[in-house]
Amino acid sequence: MTDRAAAARRALREQRIETPSWAYANSGTRFKVFAQAGVPRDPWEKLADAATVHRFTGVAPTVALHIPWDRVEDYGALAKYAGEHGIGIGTINANVFQDDDYKLGSVTNPDPGVRRKATDHLLECVDIMDATGSRDLKLWFADGTNYPGQDSIRARQDRLAEALREVYDRLGDDQRMLLEYKLFEPAFYTTDVPDWGTSYAHCLELGPKATVCIDTGHHAPGTNIEFIVAFLLRAGRLGAFDFNSRFYADDDLMVGAADPFQLFRILFEIVSADALGTGYTSGGAPIAFMLDQCHNIEAKIPAIIRSVLNVQEATAKALLVDTDALAAAQSGGDVLGANAALMDAFSTDVRPLLGGLREEMGLDPDPVAAYRRSGYQERIVAERVGGTQAGWGA
Amino acid sequence: MTDRAAAARRALREQRIETPSWAYANSGTRFKVFAQAGVPRDPWEKLADAATVHRFTGVAPTVALHIPWDRVEDYGALAKYAGEHGIGIGTINANVFQDDDYKLGSVTNPDPGVRRKATDHLLECVDIMDATGSRDLKLWFADGTNYPGQDSIRARQDRLAEALREVYDRLGDDQRMLLEYKLFEPAFYTTDVPDWGTSYAHCLELGPKATVCIDTGHHAPGTNIEFIVAFLLRAGRLGAFDFNSRFYADDDLMVGAADPFQLFRILFEIVSADALGTGYTSGGAPIAFMLDQCHNIEAKIPAIIRSVLNVQEATAKALLVDTDALAAAQSGGDVLGANAALMDAFSTDVRPLLGGLREEMGLDPDPVAAYRRSGYQERIVAERVGGTQAGWGA
Amino acid sequence: MTDRAAAARRALREQRIETPSWAYANSGTRFKVFAQAGVPRDPWEKLADAATVHRFTGVAPTVALHIPWDRVEDYGALAKYAGEHGIGIGTINANVFQDDDYKLGSVTNPDPGVRRKATDHLLECVDIMDATGSRDLKLWFADGTNYPGQDSIRARQDRLAEALREVYDRLGDDQRMLLEYKLFEPAFYTTDVPDWGTSYAHCLELGPKATVCIDTGHHAPGTNIEFIVAFLLRAGRLGAFDFNSRFYADDDLMVGAADPFQLFRILFEIVSADALGTGYTSGGAPIAFMLDQCHNIEAKIPAIIRSVLNVQEATAKALLVDTDALAAAQSGGDVLGANAALMDAFSTDVRPLLGGLREEMGLDPDPVAAYRRSGYQERIVAERVGGTQAGWGA
Amino acid sequence: MTDRAAAARRALREQRIETPSWAYANSGTRFKVFAQAGVPRDPWEKLADAATVHRFTGVAPTVALHIPWDRVEDYGALAKYAGEHGIGIGTINANVFQDDDYKLGSVTNPDPGVRRKATDHLLECVDIMDATGSRDLKLWFADGTNYPGQDSIRARQDRLAEALREVYDRLGDDQRMLLEYKLFEPAFYTTDVPDWGTSYAHCLELGPKATVCIDTGHHAPGTNIEFIVAFLLRAGRLGAFDFNSRFYADDDLMVGAADPFQLFRILFEIVSADALGTGYTSGGAPIAFMLDQCHNIEAKIPAIIRSVLNVQEATAKALLVDTDALAAAQSGGDVLGANAALMDAFSTDVRPLLGGLREEMGLDPDPVAAYRRSGYQERIVAERVGGTQAGWGA
């Protein structure tokens, strides 16, 4: 094994990927939600599934919650339950888009009463973070308008800034705000945080604990995501990723499924900035690498395992880039040589390296196959009958 | 009034715009369906609303049905009820995307049993057409795949062709197939009828009663829709429009709301080909001009009235183009002059012309205001309590 | 005339639109530059054409220069010449993309010698501004890479920041930097200032005299430009516009030609923020409203006149919005009412209002027709023979 | 070596990739053409370079010509010269976009005289094919309009059809027409052959010798190119590829550089239809696999070698797909399994397989390195001084 491969293995061993509780639940498009057998019926079962993914991959030790989808009486008990299953509770995701009051927006709604309600929910999420010991509050706003003239673009920014300020000031010393952006959907004319520039500008105004969250599916066609990654790393404001992939809009497919080369380029920027582990902090903590996907037609747990492996494979390739050769070609203006240095790593089959690493960690080298053989799927299908399956909004 | 304005008025008086039963029902995005008060609870109430739109606009005399959303015991009775309300039943829209069996497709599903079920539903829709006296069967397929490799692109075309053939052969002499295309959603990797070329090619194979339906929201960014209109008119295969508007994807906003200039250009191609009324036929009938929209946050009936007016205004402008000046500039290579001839009509305020026409037709010149004053909205809000509101899928 | 119309007329009378010297010259695509008769052969003739546009429109009193395309021995003499023709010299546009040295970038080039040369050119432009009395330095960088790995995205940001700092510090007290962004072209993988967020972030770092320039053709598909306008107005960093229009990429068509409704929405944000005239300043001065277009196939001077009129018409409509009705509908959550308030203004034919204003200003109400009748075109075609026509790069 | 690998090797040995004469010449964007040392000054030198690419890759035995860029007195002599260098002359590319007469179009120009001139050029290209023994006439039309109203969309289709008919009828029995489409550029409002549907429809009208050419860079964002490939293969009308890659528009980067996964998917459709070699014919001949690229900033010959290798690597991966496992997963509705079967091949490092194949063919396993060592580049730089470098348009 070369020095570079050995270093890659060490870095990969430390990598952490958070899975989202809602990805274990049913999801769909506006046209139809297809139910799957064995899907969790409550937060506890979601945690059990997340723990299963971690058991087979070894690098997914936390799970993100979505409030109110994962509302429970006793969050301390939930955290304890997670711990007993070998995982921890990660990011708390606020949800201010599924109440009838939010038809015209949440924190940017023209109605002050609705804004108050929405901000109160965000504050409640910080309370939950206190209970679960979570570090990160992730904010995604569905807020926007569908028709020109519907509301004042600028006034909505004022209202947004006001709510963010109140929530930011509520954060504890070790807590961080992750502000997500999204081009469109569900709003179809304007979105109140449509791009990284808007998120970044609000973070700058708020203070050092506010950082940008990049959802890889939330960009306009043609957007160079790794540029944004590099820019935010340089500015010290890259807080988190919501990984998924897309061919068209916010398709929420498995990360790496639509464009594995793009995922590699993104991770190469991370690796180049030494930001894969704890070498880089933003808002007082390393980058949170999370999945945010919808497994509408494929089996959920193996799809999430597959997604974790896809991130690992892209990371492994990024770690194998011959950075000396790359830098020499770049500084010498050798366009083809520099590109070849990058592509050489991308063309490498890293599955043997990752298989070896897993064996070293006491895991099966093929987590998908191991899961299939484990009987877990058959067990949850058999056991999880009756009750109401969890889904987006449940 | 000039000769051109007089001719425009005559043409506008004959214009027909079909409204869709489902636009009167609740709708939303995958994130949330916001319910509205007074929304219909069954097909009969949808027809009552459609009749109301016609009563105020005078140019919306038919309503499209969606099966099974509008399934009733006795379609003859439904048609009779429509007639008593001053409207008729128009296009029958098949729905093969909301049953659990259709997770991997309907007529293109790898499972022959599912394909049979889907095709049978399409044949049932022709039975319903016989009962309602409908001329047009509109086919939109949600079929496609989410992941590369998921299924054979080519085999799915074979299956599609086979199902279409069976349905085509079932059509009566005075019936027509409208084959819609859509770039993406709900499928995110491939869609089995993704563009006009695919729809057109299948129509050519099927025979003269198969024509293309253009939904204005179903295109890739940058697509020139009026080019497609002009091309299909030339080829004699433009059967119908599903009008709506979009800023991003298939936003299904009110037609003309996002890009009124584009709507004008589309209607100018229609007018140029003398295809607004009965001067052009495809598959044995004139073009069916239909709305297909989702009024997720705005009041539904006034939104549909507004949409009808938007089509009328674009049409009026298209009719006012000084075609002699335009043709002279075009043949003389006068780029600016030709553009100016078109823009002159677009810049014209046609609302007085349309207001006058409505008065001539015994209507209020401002249908939206007249609806607001009519008390209809208050009445349906008061009366339609209890029961289950209709929505996408209900 | 209503109060609103009277106020609109006053505002329109004060409106200022700058035309670009290079739009009077030949231009084209990478496939072909089509030469036109009568095109200027030097900066002096470009100024004469710009003065002509101002003579017929009354609202285009300055012309932007591009260095080195407009390099002359004596810039003071050039400014004097402009003054004698009734116009002034406006923005100075730097050009660091047409020298062989810039193949891999200018201020972001991996070669320090090339960076020095590029920065020196930018500093020279400030010298020219001193000589011409220009307030604004416009910076657009073609810098970027074509292939992944070609250069370090982050290192290029460092180099960019360093060059911008040096130039910023050279600016006089009454001078301003306008930093333009562009999604792609001529670079096809990364662009070093690809979006407004990047430009804005650099401006914040530089200081108060650095502001963002929005070229309306430089965005990804689906980008909501008026959102960016509103955001930058709120942040006090909107310095300038480069107006043009596009259907696909950076098409550089006449402003308002591709999407007149979008232009109206942009100007409505301007009007709403009272930023049309001197009511808003950024970097110490009002917004610079400029054209930046390529008249590849249409006659240049009438195309520029047409463009000025298009901006005026969009502005007039924006000024006519019933802001009281709009605000009431917005705050009441009346989606359709608010949209209707905006659309009512857009649907208005403002040409009579503008014609009347021109007559009041002693101008012909139809500037295009007046130009055509003036004999100017025939004169320049006859006189400008011999010599080398100016074009992009000459 | 497995059976599958052995079969792959056999198929790869037979693969043929045509290089374009103009890719050896200077090129650029509308902003700047950067000249490179050693670039050919005439068609003979282009052929010498193409022969060099073939010498190192072994799979690029033909070169496409562009008329008039490659106009010579004696095409028979040119063909003989090619043969002496071990290659043949391939496709003849017509050029009707670089004459001043074509400002408003070539075969669709409103002026009949210009149309005649353009059609005559196309006929001349068939004459040249007779002289060179070329099988394929490739037609790409820059025709279109920049402004709405500029010309009649429909009339331009009529003119296009008329010209195509005349040229089609002139083709010899063993000759074929390849009709290319392109979304936009250089025309910015409409393009007369904007998409595959338009090209396909004209081919159907013309007859069996007319086939579609897919340039991979000529699509709207989000277009699924492999769908088009599969559709045209099924319809028997896929005649050729112009390979290149893009992030934004028609960037003309090296094929496989922007999205290697997409290239793999395209080639998988080819392989699935047994259309890589002579197993599939369209218009009487197999698919012509060609490059069409612009090496604006990178060294040209090694970039073309790299591009050939990229096509080979994608092809090798496509050939390695376990089609039995894939088909089983597809028919069983196993979404993840089917995707995994495809991805397994994509994740494989095929460079050893290709290196072995090259050694078997008597070639260096690393053609780029071998070219670098060969001294060819130094020789052409030294020898090709004086004269005028060839470029787009020269």
CB A43 within 8 A of CB A72: yes
Average pLDDT over residues D219-245: 98
A vs D, Cβ pairs < 8 A, gives 52
**Nearest alpha-carbon partner for C263 in C339, C314, C323:** C314
pLDDT digits (tens, 9 = 90+) for C228-268: 999 999 999 999 999 999 999 999 999 999 999 999 999 99
Rounded to a whole number of angstroms, the distance from the CA of B349 to the nearest CA of chain D is 19
Q: What is the pLDDT of residue A221?
A: 97
User: Hey, which chains touch C, using 3+ CB pairs under 8 Å?
Assistant: A, B, D
Q: Distance between CA atoms of D39 and D46, rounded to whole angstroms?
A: 8
Residue B23 resides in a domain = yes
| Predicted local confidence at residue B392, as pLDDT | 72
Q: What CATH number is attached to the domain comprising C89?
A: 3.20.20.150
Domain containing A146: what range?
16-312+377-383
User: Both tokens of residue B352?
Assistant: 């007085």
pLDDT tops 60 at residue D286: yes
The whole-angstrom separation of Cα D122 and Cα D114 is 13
Does A298 contact D336 at a Cβ distance shorter than 8 Å? yes
Q: Mind telling me how many Å the CA of D102 is from chain B's nearest CA?
A: 11
D183 found inside a domain: yes
Flag if C336 and B302 touch (Cβ within 8 Å). Answer: yes
Closest chain A CA to residue D221:
A221
Name beta bridge partners: D18: D290
Structure tokens at B323: 């075609």
Q: Does C393 score more than 60 pLDDT? A: no
Mean pLDDT of C97-126: 97
Asked whether residue A363 is assigned to any structural domain, the reply reads no
- Model pLDDT, residue D391: 85
Residue of C nearest to B342 (CA): C257
Please determine, for residue A280, whether its predicted confidence score (pLDDT) is greater than 70.
yes
- Give residue A393's pLDDT band: very low, low, confident or very high (50, 70, 90): low
Contact assignment for C146 to D251 by CB distance below 8 Å: yes
What mean pLDDT comes out for the span D165-193? 98
Closest-CA residue of chain B to D151:
B330
Chain B residue with Cα closest to C220: B221
CB contact under 8 A, A147 and C220: no
Please report where in the chains the tokens 């009579």 appear, as a residue: C352
Mutate to test the interface with C, among B264, B336, B343, B349 (most CBs of C within 10 A): B336
Bond before A43 cis per omega within 30 degrees: no
Question: Which chain B residues are within 8 Å of A34, Cβ to Cβ?
Answer: 100, 103
Which tens digits make up the pLDDT trace of A83-125? 999 999 999 999 999 999 999 999 999 999 999 999 999 999 9
> Which other chains touch chain B, taking contact as 3+ CB pairs less than 8 Å apart?
A, C, D
D58 contacts: CB under 8 Å, gap ≥ 6: D358, D361, D363
Predicted confidence band at A391 (pLDDT cuts at 50, 70, 90)? confident
Contact list in B for residue D219 (CB cut-off 8 A) is 220
Residue among A137, A158, A143, A150 at smallest CA distance from A101: A143
Are the Cβ atoms of D222 and A221 closer than 8 angstroms? yes
pLDDT tens-digit series, residues D90-99: 999 999 999 9
- Per DSSP, chain A holds a count of helices (H) and strands (E) of 14, 10
Q: Is residue C368 part of a domain?
A: no
| Chain C closest-CA separation from residue A104 CA (Å) | 7
Let me know if residue C365 belongs to a domain: no
Nearest chain D alpha carbon to A249: D222
User: Which residues, 6 or more positions from D26, have their beta carbon under 8 angstroms from its beta carbon?
Assistant: D33, D34, D35, D36, D39, D389, D390, D391, D392
Give pLDDT tens digits for D185-230: 999 999 999 999 999 999 999 999 999 999 999 999 999 999 999 9
Cα(B47)–Cα(B28) distance, integer angstroms: 21
The answer to whether residue D258 is domain-embedded is yes
Q: Of B333, D95, D151, B330, whose CA–CA distance to C297 is shortest?
A: B333
For residue D39, what pLDDT band results from cuts at 50, 70 and 90? very high
User: What's the domain count of chain C?
Assistant: 1
Which of A32, A108, A180 would best serve as a mutation to test chain B binding (most B beta carbons within 10 A)? A32
Q: Which residue of B has its CA nearest to C303?
A: B336
DSSP state string for C279-324: T--BTTB--EEEE----SSS-HHHHHHHHHHHHHHHHHHHHHS-HH
Confidence of residue C361 (pLDDT cuts 50, 70, 90): very high
| D221–B154 C-beta distance less than 8 A | no
- Record: contact A336-D302, CB cut-off 8 A: yes
Is A260 in Cβ contact with D247 (below 8 Å)?
A: no
Of B247, B299, B339, the CB nearest to C222: B247
Contacts of C142 in chain D (CB under 8 A): 31-32
Contacts of C234 in chain A (CB under 8 A): 154, 157-158
B170 touches B209 (CB < 8 A): no
Residues of D in contact with C103 (CB under 8 A): 34, 297
Residue C190 maps to a domain: yes
Find the CB nearest B222 among D152, D183, D273. D183
B31 contacts A253? CB cut-off 8 A: no
Q: Using CB atoms, which residue from B183, B248, B297 is nearest to A104?
A: B297
- Rounded to a whole number, what is the distance in Å from the CA of B51 to chain D's nearest CA? 37
**Out of D248, D313, D349, whose CB is closest to A349?**
D349
In the predicted model, residues of chain B with pLDDT beneath 50 are: 394
pLDDT of A206 above 80? yes
Work out the pLDDT band at A1, boundaries 50, 70, 90: low
Query: Which of B101, B140, B147 to mutate: most A Cβ within 10 Å?
Result: B147
Whether A297 and B148 lie within 8 Å, measured CB to CB: no
pLDDT for C45-92, tens place per residue?
A: 999 999 999 999 999 999 999 999 999 999 999 999 999 999 999 999
- Residue of A194, A227, A339 lying closest to C153 (CB–CB): A227
Put simply, the answer to whether C189 touches D258 (Cβ < 8 Å) is yes
Nearest residue on chain B to D104, alpha-carbon basis: B333
> What pLDDT, on the 0 to 100 scale, is given for residue A2?
83
Which residues does A contribute to its contact with B (CB < 8 Å)? 27-32, 34-35, 97-98, 100, 102-104, 142, 146-148, 183-186, 188-189, 221, 246-249, 251, 253-254, 257-258, 296-298, 392-393
- Closest residue in chain A to residue C111, using alpha carbons only: A331
The pLDDT, as a whole number, for residue D1 is 65
Chain A residues in contact with D349 (beta carbon < 8 A): 347-349
pLDDT of residue B371: 98
Q: Are D47 and D75 in contact (CB under 8 A)?
A: no
Residue type, B248: Y
Segments of chain A assigned E as strands: 19-20, 62-67, 88-94, 136-139, 144-145, 176-180, 190-191, 210-215, 238-243, 288-291
Q: Of C148, C195, C200, which has the smallest distance from its Cβ to A265's Cβ? A: C148
Closest residue of chain D to A220, computed from CA coordinates: D221
Q: Which residues of chain D are within 8 Å of residue A306 when distances are taken between CB atoms?
A: 336, 340
Interface probe, candidates C22, C29, C30, C153, chain D, greatest D C-beta count within 10 A: C30
Who among A222, A297, A349 is closest to D248 (CB)? Answer: A222
From chain D, pick out residues whose CB is under 8 angstroms from the CB of C248.
183-185, 188, 249
Q: Which chains touch D (3 or more CB pairs under 8 A)?
A: A, B, C
Percent of residues, chain C, with pLDDT higher than 90: 98
Q: In this structure, is residue B64 part of a structural domain? A: yes
Mark yes or no for CB contact B30/A30 under 8 Å.
yes
- pTM score of the predicted model: 0.98
User: Is-contact C303 C371, C-beta < 8 A?
Assistant: no
Ramachandran category for residue D320: left, alpha or beta (phi over 0 → left; psi -120 to 50 → alpha): alpha
Q: What is the pLDDT of residues D123-154, one digit of tens each?
A: 999 999 999 999 999 999 999 999 999 999 99
